[in-house]
Amino acid sequence: MSWEDNVRKMDPYIPGEQPDFPDMVKLNTNENPYPPAPGVRKLLAELDADRLKLYPKPDAKELVEALAKAYGVDVKNVFMGVGSDDVLGTAFLTFFTGDKPVLFPDISYSFYPVWAKLYRIPFETPALDENFCIVKEDYMRENGGIVISNPNAPTSIAVSMDFIEDIAKANPDSVVIVDEAYVDYGGESCIPLTKKYDNVLVVQTFSKSRSMAGMRIGFAIGNEKLISYMFDVRNSYNSYTMNYPSIMCGAEALKDKAYFEETTRKIIATREKYKKILCEIGFDCPDSCSNFLFAEHKTMAAKVIFEKLREKHVFVRYFKTPRIDNRLRITIGTEDEMEKLVSALKEILA
């Protein structure tokens, strides 16, 4: 007997590496290549440092009110956390206590099985079809909960709101989590479903389309009862998860709709342009509704390309996972970054 016998031993989720070279082209963790809205810079510089001596507001008032306003819901429909990982983790802990398996696709955000193992939640992973599409019928059987990333990662493929509605309607006794981390790049948000179904929870993040991965802000929108259960669990873990800068800067970021729309539009335009260029040099990608491409090359193995890019300080994401181990997940950067990627690829493929 030792204290180690009582340890919860985990194989953690491995995030994309965070290299730090001055000359790097960083297209590996789906960050936004554009800075946060100008108002955020101004607010951060003027933030009252003396206020830090006090606890932040436990309800993150300014942020939650701004989110409710931006998404046309009541403050009682909004939950917030330290990135969408914190929000999703809290949702797993709150809603998935049953004996039946929680369902999510075999190829999806690789954190889902990690949360399930952490909280000892049974789960099953129905396979995507041969085109990496979710098979709706797989989610029409007995389960303890459902998690769908939409658009899905790392496939970049989206389903419609109707598709999710069919799943939600067929599963009134399960919470259906819709992880919309990438929805602003061409997906259709299921927030409207949260007004119609009390079992639908939509999760989004400031890390992608709001250019604030470094601030760690995520949120969920759902029925008041769902949200209230999540707060009870959160407040049984940590009363103050959002620090003062994140509350204030997050609220500020939501004010500048024009900047958000402009940067999002730019990323979508860059994506479409470079999807074509990548196809011209032998890559194949499904249509993307996200800020990344899910690319396979006709002749060269993904692992080789990944490693050769890495040597040139061009970072993309490679998963050593069955079915997708010949694919690269390439974040959409600025046009300049994408040009550097294409030059490097041309050299590698030459």
Contacts of a second copy in 29-88 (CB under 8 A):
29, 31-36, 40-41, 44-47, 49-58, 82-83, 85-86
Pick from 137, 140, 196, 238 the residue near a second copy by CB under 8 A. 238
Least distance CB 184 / a second copy (angstroms): 15
Least distance CB 144 / a second copy (angstroms): 6
Close Cβ partners of 137 (under 8 Å, ≥ 6 residues apart): none
Q: Where are the beta strands (DSSP E) in 75-144?
A: 78-81, 102-103, 123-124
Report helix angle 38-46 to 244-255, nearest 10: 150
Distance CA 143, CA 80 (A): 26
Pick from 25, 67, 104, 145 the residue near a second copy by CB under 8 A. 145
Binding segment toward a second copy, per CB under 8 A, in 114-122, 127-135, 282-290, 297-305:
114-122
Give the side-chain half-sphere CA count within 13 A for 108: 28
Distance CA 140, CA 313 (A): 45
Least distance CB 43 / a second copy (angstroms): 9
Binding segment toward a second copy, per CB under 8 A, in 154-162, 226-234, 281-289, 324-332:
226-234
Pick from 188, 234, 319, 324 the residue near a second copy by CB under 8 A. 234
Is the bond into 154 cis (omega within 30 degrees of 0)? yes
Binding segment toward a second copy, per CB under 8 A, in 69-77, 147-155, 209-217, 270-278:
209-217
Residue (31 or 188) nearer to a second copy, CB: 31
253-312 binders of a second copy (CB under 8 A):
none
Residue (46 or 280) nearer to a second copy, CB: 46
Pick from 125, 133, 240, 282 the residue near a second copy by CB under 8 A. 240
Pick from 101, 144, 154, 187 the residue near a second copy by CB under 8 A. 144
Largest CA distance in the chain: 62
Establish if 114 lies at the interface with a second copy (CB under 8 A): yes
Binding-site size, a second copy (CB under 8 A): 89
Residue (156 or 207) nearer to a second copy, CB: 207
Task: Please check whether residue 151 is in contact with residue 190, taking contact to mean a CB–CB distance below 8 angstroms.
Answer: no
Residue (142 or 284) nearer to a second copy, CB: 142
DSSP one-letter string for 158-189: ---HHHHHHHHHH-TTS-EEEE-TTGGGT---
Pick from 157, 175, 178, 324 the residue near a second copy by CB under 8 A. 175
Close Cβ partners of 284 (under 8 Å, ≥ 6 residues apart): 295, 296, 297, 298
Establish if 22 lies at the interface with a second copy (CB under 8 A): no
Residue (210 or 327) nearer to a second copy, CB: 210
Residue (157 or 253) nearer to a second copy, CB: 253
Residue (85 or 188) nearer to a second copy, CB: 85
DSSP one-letter string for 232-252: HHHTTT-S--S-HHHHHHHHH
Residue (132 or 182) nearer to a second copy, CB: 182
Q: Calculate the dihedral angle through the C-alpha atoms of 174, 179, 184, 187, rounding to the nearest 10 degrees.
A: -60
Task: Please check whether residue 29 is in contact with residue 16, taking contact to mean a CB–CB distance below 8 angstroms.
Answer: yes
Least distance CB 260 / a second copy (angstroms): 13
Pick from 79, 95, 123, 259 the residue near a second copy by CB under 8 A. 95
Establish if 23 lies at the interface with a second copy (CB under 8 A): no
Residue (267 or 278) nearer to a second copy, CB: 267
Report helix angle 257-280 to 335-349, nearest 10: 20
